[in-house]
Chains A and B, each alone.
Chain A
C-alpha cells in the first residue's frame, strides 16, 4: 500500500463553538467515524464546553444573530435560500428558540439525536470525550459540572498526545 492510500485511522475533533449549529457537525463527524471503524476523540474548548456542561447542554440554540450564513430557508421556514435572515429579526426574543425548535424537529426526522443522547451514543461506540482544561479554568467549571460521559479534562499537550499516531487527522470546528 502506498502512502496515498493511507486510511484515516483516527479523527481528533476540536469543538470551539457553543451554538447548536456549531456543535452538531462535530458530533456527526465523530459518530460517522466510529461507524466506519475509525477512532474518534472530541475535544471541547471555549464555548464548545456548552455542549458538555449539564446546565447548558440540553438547551443549546441556533445562533440567529450575527450569523450571516443563516437564510429564510434555513431553518426550514420554507422561504427562498436567497433571502437573508435579518439580524434584527434574530434578535427578537424567542426567535432563536423558535428556529432551534424547527431545526430540532427536522433533525429528529433524520434520526439525529439530541446533544446529550448523541454524546452518550458516541461514548457507547468507543469515542472519547474530552474537555479543555484552560477553558474550564476560564469559565470556572469543574469536572462535576460536566455530563457524566466526559473521559477527562486535558491540557493542549495532553490532547496532542491523545492524538498521536500515523493516520490521525486533527479537525478544528
Chain B
C-alpha cells in the first residue's frame, strides 16, 4: 500500500513499515518518529537509525542483544531513545522491515 509521508508517496506494509528501504530519507524518518511518539530525532537517534540501515543492507539479523553489543548504543540508551519498543520503533523509523526475532 501507498502512504504519504513527509510529502512523498512511499510503499509501506499494513503496519507502516517501509517495504523498499531505498525510498527512505531523513525527512521520512522524522515524520515516522513523530507518528510513533518519539518526537524530534537527535544525533543519538540517527546514529542508531543509520546503523540499522547498514546492518539491514548487509542482511544481518537484528536482535536487541546485537544492538547492545554494537558499540553504537547501550541497551539502556536504546530503550531510552525509543521508548515503547526499541527495536520495532527504530526499525520503522530507519525504513527497514519489522524485526522478526524474539530476542
Contact = CB atoms under 8 A, between A and B. Distances in A.
Contacts of A111: 61, 63, 65-66, 101, 103
Q: Taking each of B74, B83, B86, B103, which has the highest tally of chain A beta carbons within 10 Å of its own beta carbon?
A: B103
Nearest to A36: B85
Contacts of B79: 34, 124-126
Contacts, number: 45
Contacts of A124: 68, 74-76, 79
A126 B74 CA distance: 13
Contact of B103 (A28, A36, A37, A126): A28
Nearest to A122: B75
5 contacts: A110-B103, A111-B61, A111-B63, A112-B103, A121-B68
A28 B102 CA distance: 8
B96 to A, nearest CB: 16
A126 B88 CA distance: 17
A66 interface: no
Interface string A119-160: 001001110000000000000000000000000000000000
Nearest to A112: B103
Contacts of B86: 35, 125
B87 interface: yes
A113 interface: yes
B41 to A, nearest CB: 19
